[in-house]
Structure 1
Amino acid sequence: MEAVEFVESLRNIYIDASLLKKQGLSDEYIEHIKRAYIVMPKERTIVSQYSIIELVENYDCSHLEIGMVTFEEKTEEISNFIYFGKAYGHDLAIDTTTGAIVVLESGYDNLLFKCAQNDKSFLSSIFNVALYLERRAVEEDLYVNIELNIQMAEELGDIAGGKLYYDFYKMMLGV
Structure 2
Amino acid sequence: MPVAQPPLEISEDLERFSCSYCGTEQIVKRAGGAVWLKKIETAVRDVQKGTDRTAAELALVRLERELEAARESREKLIREAQAKRNLAQARRLMQCLIPFAAVFLIGPLIILLLDESFSGLSIFVWLAACVGVPALAFQSIKVLPIDIQPALAEIDGRIAQIQERMEMNRSILDAPPA
**What's the TM-score once normalised by structure 2's chain length?**
0.20
Which structure is richer in relative contact order (CA contacts within 8 A, separation 6 or more)? 2
Bigger Cα Rg: 2
TM-score, normalised by the number of residues in structure 1: 0.20
Structure (1/2) with the larger helix percentage = 2
